[in-house]
Chain A
Amino acid sequence: DARVTQTPRHKVTEMGQEVTMRCQPILGHNTVFWYRQTMMQGLELLAYFRNRAPLDDSGMPKDRFSAEMPDATLATLKIQPSEPRDSAVYFCASGTRDSLETQYFGPGTRLLVL
């Protein structure tokens, strides 16, 4: 049963700490997306990669957020330093096409920054 996995599922941290979220895309998928979901803003696309190269990260605050794909089986989203307003659920999704149309979401990382 192929699925996107994300770790950790829950993270509580203090303001100013570094947070790293990890995503393992479905094997063979070459496109990875990062989303943030909050009650106020809903679902927002932060960044996406194709073949490990960033295609678009215009939705991501550059000063504290960074996204990378060290290899085809791992994508990371880092926040440094974290702030309370970063509290949200962060979803990773993967797909097989270099567009946004076909994507499968992971279960999310629920982040709380105190």
Chain B
Amino acid sequence: QQQVKQSPQSLIVQKGGISIINCAYENTAFDYFPWYQQFPGKGPALLIAIRPDVSEKKEGRFTISFNKSAKQFSLHIMDSQPGDSATYFCAASRSNDMRFGAGTRLTVKP
């Protein structure tokens, strides 16, 4: 059973554009929602994370929007750059359980 659904599978954006990746979760007990960035041949790296008591968190060009009632959260990358090209994973966790989305391969064209 896939507890975290991520879309789209792949995304192509022009340089300077906005990249948007969406995730939906099922278990309302999840209380921590991180996004990871993974470059080819590397391990995932924590990018930004949010807890359900806030609806938005921004760090530089990266913003998480969180909708608790809809059980959805999304990552927005403003002014996307070719260096942002990577695979992005959302995740949801509580206690000793963390579930990852399937990943979104982002390509930012120059």
Contact = CB atoms under 8 A, between A and B. Distances in A.
Contacts of A48: 96
Interface stretch (B17-25, B59-67, B68-76, B99-107): B99-107
Contact of B44 (A43, A45, A55, A100): A43
A42 interface: yes
Contacts of B49: 101
Interface string B84-110: 000001010101111011110000000
A42 B43 contact: no
Contacts of A44: 100
Summarize A's interface: helix, strand, loop or mixed: strand
A93 interface: yes
A101 B103 CA distance: 18
A42 B9 CA distance: 12
Interface string A88-111: 000101000001111111111000
Contacts of A14: none
A42 B46 contact: no
Given A55-B96, A99-B96, A108 B43 contact: yes
Nearest to B102: A42
A101 B48 CA distance: 11
Nearest to A43: B100
Contacts of A93: 43
Given A42-B101, A101-B34, A106 B96 contact: no
Given A42-B103, A43-B89, A105 B43 contact: yes
Contact of A45 (B45, B89, B98, B103): B98
Contact of A91 (B34, B43, B96): B43
A55 to B, nearest CB: 6
A56 B96 contact: yes
Nearest to A4: B43
6 contacts: A42-B89, A45-B98, A100-B93, A101-B49, A105-B44, A107-B41
